[in-house]
Structure 1
Amino acid sequence: MAFLPVIALVGRPNVGKSTLFNRLTRSRDAIVDNQPGITRDRLYGRGKVGERPFLVVDTGGLEAEDGPFRAQIRQQVEQVVEEAQVVILMVDGEQGLVHQDREIAERLRQSDRRILVAANKTEGEDPHLAAADFQELALGDPLAISALRGDGIDRLVEAAMAGFAHDDAEEADAPPRIAIVGRPNVGKSTLTNRIVGSERVIVSDTPGTTRDSVRIPFEFAGRVLVAVDTAGVRRRSRVAEAVEKFSVIKTLQSIEDADVAVLVLDASSEIGAQDASIAGMVQDLGRSVVVVVNKWDGLEGRQRRRIRDELARKLPFLPDPEILFVSALHGSNTSEVMPAVIGALDSAMVELGTASLNRTLRAAVTQTPPPMHHNRPVKLKFAHQAGKNPPVVVVHGNRAEALPASYVRYLGRYFANAYRLRGTRVRVIPRSGENPFADRKGTSRPSQGSSRRRRKL
């Protein structure tokens, strides 16, 4: 079972790493500013070229001068090189080769990672001439790009992804995977041992005992499954030990690779921003989710009411997940976890008949018609399923692509509720129908009288 390839972006400040990160991930997660040194921590995101997904990491800029964050940034970049399979050294094509580029290249040559050099900010220049200065770095042929305009990005990503095999048949035959995710010391390893029925994972009161993702095949109700116990995701300000910096990227890889995520929460402490962040990772990657609130035994009624209230307030974006209250240590209610996981897995892989989908679409439109677009009605006519895990439904109609995001979310919720899907969000893609007369604009249709006159002639 292969994890997604990891591509790291490194370089001195203000060479365009965050701009390239945003373009590769199709997001604006990285702050982009002309002031050097804005990115002080690592950002992780999911990119895709063709049918091949990958993870991309944006790092803080490396500088030789001392400063309040220089040592931390250098440590971050050195660690991310260990995490990545490919490192893209970004340089400034406008400024040309500078001493800092040489220093960073020297550090990178000491690693065993594959290194690519990307000369950014080369808009309007001959690619070969713009990148020629950086041949001196002796890291292969530099590639001229423009992260801002997108020039040369496809060629750069193709070079980065070269050599990574992707066996679709092997993935199709792989058993379903269940990622156990959550903060450190919430009981993920104890719950994993309960699920698989043996002491397969080391359990300790010390947070961070699990440093890597542990994959355990097992059987449940005649089905072969794989449980993945992940390292706990800490708050970044608390991540000091170098090896624990793997946790975020390992968790992202495990969620991406999984079919269902089991989000484990600690009932003895409040549901915090880090819990919501991990839930957001699951949501963003489109995975079905089961929420397990651990350490439920021994709590007073007031504490239990507080947890239930926090679940409603802090995790409202999760798509109607099964929520279980258990004690992994004592085994209370843990027998309910796997049936809930199977329910979420079946929801993720559900097959929706076209006739049934269209009846459901008509019912959704009847209950809440789509809003007008420029005083013209949006007519939704036809729906069909286009994918699984998560279920993808394409809705066709006149001006369908003008639907507001709120209405698209409404359709997704309506489909999920109609088919009783648990912990699974239906992704709805609106598609506008083509106008068969679009290429005949400006041509008037002959009147009935004129056609009669032509026939008489």
Structure 2
Amino acid sequence: MSDNEFEYAGSDAADGTWDDEGDFADYEGDFADLEAEAAEAAAKLPTVAIVGRPNVGKSTLVNRILGRREAVVEDIPGVTRDRISYEANWAGRRFLVQDTGGWEPDAKGMQQSIAQQAEVAMRTADAVVVVVDATVGATATDEAVARVLRRSKTPVILAANKVDDQRTEAEAASLWSMGLGEPHTISAAHGRGTGDLLDVILEALPETPREGTGGTGPRRIALIGKPNVGKSSLLNKLTGENRSVVDNVAGTTVDPVDSLVELGGKTWKVIDTAGLRKKVNQASGHEFYASLRTKGAIEAAEVAIVLIDASQPITEQDLRVLSMVIESGRALVIAYNKWDLVDEDRRYQLEKEIDRELVQIPWALRVNISAQTGRALQKLVPAIETSLESWDKRIPTGRLNNWLREVMAATPPPLRGGKLPKVLFATQAATRPPTFVLFSSGFLEAGYRRFLERRLREEFGFDGSPVRVNVRVREKRAKK
């Protein structure tokens, strides 16, 4: 196979030749569409900051916008402390919604740090939503927030929250006095008026985000595993306090527990999840809802640490948990916990089990730890960072195609129906996880796709991240 034949391979013409301009033009629309999708996925998103004094319902509104329970909500003020961004989608448009702690002008100590985070959000966001409790009216703190925002050039939207009936809606009219324009009446808890508010937010957001926006807050880690494997003990050891209830009885944790943890000089959001006993569709009662929440925590995370009890044989439950993480496309670190209970015989057996049971995921990074004693916990951060780096990695199209040409010239795909499938072009369509699309003149066998994935990893790394290789078979279009 000549270089020219490979570069423009993909024609299924009878003579096997390629008309450089005509045939390539048949496909270039596909390439443009695919690369446009990739560019859109990589583009920075505009940011809307949700601000206001403590306990007015900011996090509840964030969850309503996201359509899921992501931000932690409690009836006590001051639960949200950091400025954390989440990706949202409304009417087909993607943007970041930034949850902030309660803003108070004369705060001291930790409350002052919380207020400073909210001020940063107000300065850097593309639009700001000020949330006011309509049942209380504009307080001195609300007026102070309004004074700050009236001086800024950022679009400001006033949301009058906790409006559950017409009487409260009439009272919300008094909020015109804040000088921030029309009060948009909503009930974040019940969803009343939030669709109209989102329409207003989209109108205020620019097509291109401001410079300096787009921060995504702490990176998100989910602790996953079967019951009683040590997830809560690990979270408590990492935080240095008893954030999760720990007991020898399996299934103590039901709701995901979020904690901001300082590791390796960085702040991470660590989520302790319920132990997965059964498949979601086979669980019942509180186990069913715990499984759903755990699945949601995996989807919301960027990297999953799957804990496996190293002192016991690898079980079907362990494999099911790993499959769930891999299917979700999240970066993966396997932590073999309770290593302080592992002797030489058990180490030998564990290595045999790993070779036998985990042969399909040799790319997953492994760390041997003890949540009880703190053994080797410092090794978690390098493994997490490596996995996330792989998860975010993008390979330039030119370099990818040069590599692919060399690989396929050395090891062509198997014949199919008497014809040799030819790959015209390859591109990385997405990151998180890295997803590659090959345009081919014929079907590529699953075994050959696994071979390409293995060679991709050898050339470009991707340790700790799943890699997806998709094939688009294109029939040659008839010439006019």
CA distance in 2, matches of 1:409, 1:352: 18
Q: Compute the displacement of 1:324 (Å).
A: 1.2
Equivalent residue runs for 1:269-418 within 5 Å = 269-399=312-442, 402-418=443-459
Q: In the alignment, is the contact (CA less than 8 A) between 2:311 and 2:341 conserved in 1?
A: no
- Match for residue 467 of structure 2? 426
Counterpart-to-counterpart distance in 2, 1:426 and 1:214? 29
Q: CA deviation at 1:409?
A: 2.4
* CA apart distance, 1:332: 1.0
Tell whether 2:476 aligns with 1:435.
Answer: yes
Question: How much does 1:4 deviate?
Answer: 6.8
Within a 5 Å distance, the mapping from 1:57-76 to structure 2 comes to: none
Residues 231 and 4 of structure 1, relative CA distance in 2, 3 Å threshold? farther
Q: Aligned equivalents of 1:435 and 1:255: distance in 2?
A: 41
Where 2:226 maps in the other structure, the secondary structure is coil
TM-score (norm 1): 0.56
Deviations 1:104-138 (CA, angstroms, capped at 9, x unpaired): xxxxxxxxxxxxxxxxxxxxxxxxxxxxxxxxxxx
Structure 1 spans left out of the alignment, 5+ residues? 7-48, 53-161, 441-457
- 1:300-345 CA deviation, whole Å, 9 max, x = no partner? 2111111121122122222511111111100111110121011111
- Find the aligned partners of 1:271 and 1:163 in 2 and give their Cα distance: 48
Residues in 1 aligned to 2:394 and 2:230: alpha-carbon distance in whole angstroms? 34
What SS is found at the alignment partner of 1:224? strand
SS of residue in 2 equivalent to 1:284: helix
Are the aligned partners of 1:384 and 1:395 in contact in 2 as well (CA < 8 Å)?
yes
Q: Distance in 1 between matches of 2:419 and 2:279?
A: 49
* Offset, 1:179: 0.7
- Percent identity of the aligned residues? 34
- Asked if 2 retains the 8 angstrom alpha-carbon contact of 1:279 and 1:318, the reply is no
Question: CA RMSD, aligned part only?
Answer: 3.2
Contact 1:293 1:323 in 2 (8 A): yes
Deviations 1:154-206 (A, max 9, x none): xxxxxxxx969899999973532111000111101111233344432222222
Partner-residue secondary structure (3-state), 2:336? strand
Q: Which of 200, 206, 209 matches 2:243?
A: 200
C-alpha distance after superposition, 1:394-431 (max 9, x if no partner): 222322xx112222222222212321211212111222
Residue 175 of structure 1 is aligned with which of 218, 223, 227? 218
Query: 2:282 matched to 1:243?
Result: no
2:450 counterpart letter in structure 1: R
- 8 Å contact kept, 1:393–1:429: yes
Deviates more, 1:228-237 or 1:342-351: 228-237
Sort the Cα spacing of 1:240 and 1:254 in 2 relative to 1 into closer, same or farther, 3 A. closer
TM-score, normalised to structure 2, is 0.54
Give the Cα separation in 1 of the matches to 2:390 and 2:227. 28
Distance (Å, rounded) in 2 between the aligned partners of 1:326 and 1:220: 15
Report deviation, 1:366.
3.3
Cα offsets for 1:16-40 (capped at 9, x unmatched): xxxxxxxxxxxxxxxxxxxxxxxxx
3-state SS of 1:216 partner: strand
Counterparts of 2:398 and 2:240, CA distance in 1: 42
Alignment coverage as a number of residue pairs: 285
CA displacement, residues 263-313 of structure 1 (integer Å, 9 cap, x when unaligned): 100122211101100101011111111001111113221111111211221
- Check conservation: 1:319, 1:423, Cα contact below 8 A: no
Counterpart AA for 1:211 = V
Residues 366 and 280 (structure 1), Cα distance of their counterparts in 2 relative to 1, 3 Å cut: same
Write out per-residue CA displacement over residues 378-399 of structure 1, whole angstroms, 9 at most, x where no aligned residue: 1123222111110011222322
For the structure 1 residues 163 and 185, does the alpha-carbon distance in structure 2 shift closer, same or farther, using more than 3 Å as the test? farther
Match of 2:234 among 191, 195, 200: 191
What are the superposed Cα offsets for residues 337-391 of structure 1, whole Å, 9 maximum, x if unpaired?
Answer: 1210111111101121122212221233234311122111111232221111100
Separation in structure 2 between the aligned mates of residue 4 and residue 257 of structure 1, nearest angstrom: 12
In the alignment, the residues of structure 2 paired with residue 201 and residue 178 of structure 1 have an alpha-carbon distance, to the nearest angstrom, of 16
Pair 230,367 (structure 1): closer, same or farther in 2 beyond 3 Å: farther
1:80-112 deviations in whole A, cap 9, x for unaligned?
xxxxxxxxxxxxxxxxxxxxxxxxxxxxxxxxx
Q: Which residue of 1 aligns with 2:156?
A: none
CA contact (8 A) 1:370 1:378 kept: yes
Give how far 1:5 is off: 5.5
CA change 1:263–1:395 in 2 (3 A) is same
Query: In the superposition, relative to structure 1, how do residues 50 and 301 fare at CA in structure 2: closer, same or farther (>3 Å)?
Result: farther
What is the CA deviation profile of residues 423-450 of structure 1, one whole-angstrom value per residue up to 9, with x for unaligned ones? 21211122245635x155xxxxxxxxxx
> CA separation in 2, counterparts of 1:354 and 1:319?
26
Q: Per the alignment, in what secondary structure is the counterpart of residue 388 of structure 2? A: helix
Give 2:311's aligned residue. 268
SS in 2 for 1:173: coil
Shift of 1:240: 8.5
Counterpart AA for 1:383:
A
SS of 1:265's partner is strand
Question: What is the identity, as a one-letter code, of the residue corresponding to 2:353?
Answer: E
Distance 1:4 1:390, change over 3 A: farther
Rounded Cα–Cα distance in structure 1 between residues aligned with 2:460 and 2:240: 32
The one-letter code sitting in structure 1 at the alignment partner of 2:446 is A
